[in-house]
Structure 1
């Protein structure tokens, strides 16, 4: 009888041990999944926070660029138009003076005509910088062709342009973003990269409209953050962001630069 009781107690102890082991494993699994899930959620939160911060940086870059553009336009209006119109006004006032000789009148009138013509030319240039008329009238393809022709006419650089997509369905705002990106890239290639050859190609790649830009300039170390975060690159990145696209940028010393970006 005692042997039976001992065996029953042992069985009960084994059962309790097994139950305790299962409960412990179950608790460990619950804690594991809880903390794993918590860690995953935290990683996602950190990722979202980084994305938000990055978007803030892009927006700040746009605002900074816009403010610089406004300041430049204001300076141009003051230096190139307002100052000339002030001189035109002064010369017009001098025409009212008595006892002017025919020669003096002729000089004043010629000054008025010359200064007025310069003011008109400068106002056209400022308007062109704000929104090139060719974009609004003929679309992005014609605008890029004109831009390429302007750079090729300098004889300092050879720019080739190939387009295999259609831009007609795009809004003017999108045209302008793409146009400004190319302007910035060309400016960087020539002023900083000392490039003599530039290639611009638009094509469909993996069902996305894609631009492939490259030059043969001096390039730079792409791994250095200071080379990646200049205002020019931030401006380009912000425009691609508004185009709902992505980009990749590669460069090495003495190997030029290459940028590939897509857009919707």
Structure 2
């Protein structure tokens, strides 16, 4: 059939139909890309909001932990150091009292010396808890070894520690987070887990620094999220976040507690 045989009205209608079809297809594509892009942006915003929320939670946990630590230090200073120094001050004034016998003077002097020695020892312990001198001087490995020895002095727990990582002395700030994580885990094992043995192992897995931690304590149901919301665990999560690491916790009632974290 030749074009001349086709009525002009049909040609116009076909052209209009084609144009409308292309226009509708264009509108559909534009709307599709618009809503797809909107959905992607919305998901990105939700992800950002979640990250900000997690960061706020981590910051909140750190602030609470710091405040608790400050309260503990203030309490130690008030109850122990301050009280002993007050008694030293009183004994010092007694030395200026008239008519003191030689034995009384000797007794007061001995009290002053003993109380001062105890105050010094306790102040060293407080300073040690803030930043262990061995860690500061010799690094993370030595700090952990001393930490294990300190826990073993309680005679309540045996600690097995192995390390196959050469820690970089230029990353002491990051390593302090690792030390504090272990300190928190060991305190939990002893205080809450009633563990009699702890195993700590550092090694490289595919170039990633990894710590495997395990105890033989009473354990808990790790599938219950409420069991992992304590202040100590929030503090650990915050430190793991700072280290750009990951953490995996596994535990069952009466089957101990295992943790693997990277840093």
What TM-score does the superposition give when structure 2 sets the normalisation length? 0.92
Q: Distance in 1 between matches of 2:243 and 2:177?
A: 8
Q: CA deviation at 1:248?
A: 2.1
Structure 1 residue 168 corresponds to structure 2 residue 180: no
Q: CA deviation at 1:98?
A: 1.2
Q: CA deviation at 1:165?
A: 0.7
Distance 1:185 1:170, change over 3 A: farther
Q: Distance in 1 between matches of 2:253 and 2:27?
A: 57
Show CA shifts across 1:29-69 (max 9, x none): 21111101101110110101110111111112111111111
Question: SS where residue 171 of structure 1 aligns?
Answer: helix
Paired position in structure 2 for 1:107: 107
What is the root-mean-square deviation in Å for CA atoms of aligned residues? 1.9
Paired position in structure 1 for 2:131: 131
Gapped regions of structure 1 (runs ≥ 5): none
Paired position in structure 1 for 2:190: 190
Q: CA deviation at 1:169?
A: 2.8
Structure 1 residue 25 corresponds to structure 2 residue 25: yes
Q: Distance in 1 between matches of 2:196 and 2:91?
A: 46
Paired position in structure 1 for 2:43: 43
Question: SS where residue 210 of structure 1 aligns?
Answer: strand
For 1:225-264, list aligned pairs within 5 A. 225-263=225-263
Distance 1:80 1:25, change over 3 A: same
Q: Distance in 2 between matches of 1:66 and 1:170?
A: 25
Q: Distance in 1 between matches of 2:247 and 2:68?
A: 25
Paired position in structure 2 for 1:59: 59
Q: Distance in 2 between matches of 1:7 and 1:253?
A: 87
Q: CA deviation at 1:172?
A: 2.9
Structure 1 residue 86 corresponds to structure 2 residue 83: no
Q: Distance in 2 between matches of 1:64 and 1:162?
A: 32
CA contact (8 A) 2:139 2:169 kept: no
What TM-score does the superposition give when structure 1 sets the normalisation length? 0.92
Q: CA deviation at 1:170?
A: 3.6
CA contact (8 A) 2:95 2:105 kept: yes
Q: Distance in 2 between matches of 1:206 and 1:22?
A: 54
Q: Distance in 1 between matches of 2:166 and 2:72?
A: 33
Question: SS where residue 195 of structure 2 aligns?
Answer: coil
CA contact (8 A) 2:220 2:252 kept: yes
CA contact (8 A) 1:163 1:203 kept: yes
After alignment, is 163-172 or 56-65 more displaced? 163-172
Paired position in structure 2 for 1:199: 199
Question: SS where residue 194 of structure 2 aligns?
Answer: coil
Question: SS where residue 169 of structure 2 aligns?
Answer: coil
Number of matched residues? 261
Gapped regions of structure 2 (runs ≥ 5): none
Q: CA deviation at 1:228?
A: 1.8
CA contact (8 A) 1:135 1:175 kept: no
Q: Distance in 2 between matches of 1:195 and 1:10?
A: 90
Distance 1:129 1:185, change over 3 A: same
CA contact (8 A) 1:65 1:235 kept: yes
